[in-house]
Structure 1
Amino acid sequence: MIDPATPTLAGSARALLARDLRLLWRRRGDALQPALFALLVVVLFALALGNEPAILARVAPGVLWVAVVLSGLLALDTLFRGDAEDGSLEQWMLAPVPLGWLVLVRTLSHWATTALPLLLAAPLLATLLGLPADRLPVLLAGLALGTPLLSLLGAVVAALTIGMRRSGILLALLALPLYVPVLVFGAGSVAIAAQGHDPSGGLLLLAAGLVAALVLAPLTAAAAIRIALD
């Protein structure tokens, strides 16, 4: 018989999510920085390229994906840094639930508070860049598959550098090679759809990468956290 006082996977996930939301509310100004940064990137590209609708429509998928990737890098250092500084990660290691599960919950909550707002704002940003409406579903499908994959890959990199101070540049250097394939397949799927071809190949590769990352990334990040804290 299971002791009612023993934390379960669902109970630990709810507790961690509730804590993250409370901390997010206290730092709601900082939480908006990735979305505002992505908006600034899109606006600056639109201003720099002028009022040529054909040019804007052609570069719109790449611009949106670059904005998403850069905003994700901006928020990556906050994934585990606060927990390492206040000692929460040591409590995670002592918790009666797998460390990989807590890492997965934290990564998904981080995605929901940084990348999900960008995903919801993507139709508006795509309209700003003049992306044709028939390419928007492919763009949204790629972002829906690619942004959680970026967060999971970023979690591994953030865990590897958790013991280093001022690791922002190192984080970017380590994460960018992992992010580039996601960027290529995501933006490339929209370009393929614009040429009248089936874009499902790139989307299926993103889906396969997401499934693999959901299984492997939390375990890898958990192992990196243990090594960093030993």
Structure 2
Amino acid sequence: MKRRLQASSNEVALTGAPQNPKKPGRPQNPVPQGNFAADSDEVVPQYDSRGDDIPQPEPPPEILSPQTPGLIHIEPDSETESPAPSGRRAARAAATQALYEADSIGHPADLALRQVVERDGLADDLLEFATTLVESVEANRLTLDERIAVLAPARPVARIDRVDRIILRLALAELSFEGDDQAPPAVIANEAVEIAKLYGSETSPRFINGVLGTVLR
């Protein structure tokens, strides 16, 4: 979530008569156009010769630095703090972040996953599950994108939000797994929606639910 720097709310009171009044008929010096307060980085509000505020340009948005060098950290897209994912959802969240970095800047997904795990921690069995998810998506990306194109024909895959696209790839890859410990399809779809709530936009959960709902019909 990008944050904007807040301008100072302090005001400067222009009171009192000048110490050295000018003779009648001579123009008055304008009020100084602003300065930095002593021993402070705070900017004193600026005024023109009539004492009116001079419009100030808005500061640029603050850029959030990655928490780990070379690693993109996806901040939860919510103003309220959500509990950290646990269990297999934590593994799916780690896979989402690793694939996001791989898709964004071309870092190897396995290296990105190791960095995520070093930062957030993950039990060995969950790391194995996350690794399987990442490897499956990387090995079958074209096939997964072709299936997404069929399931969401109104929106070209390249124009789907990156986080949404990654969540769909992960869910479709997991739906293809086989084994006794395989989660039911409805659970996989629901988990994808929950990951979308955590990392996607306001419209992500409904979009993910609609696409995967088509698979479950």
- Short-chain TM bin: 0.3 to 0.5
Q: Which has the larger helix fraction?
A: 1
TM-score normalised according to structure 2 size: 0.33
Select the structure with the greater relative contact order (CA < 8 A; seq sep ≥ 6).
1
Larger radius of gyration: 2
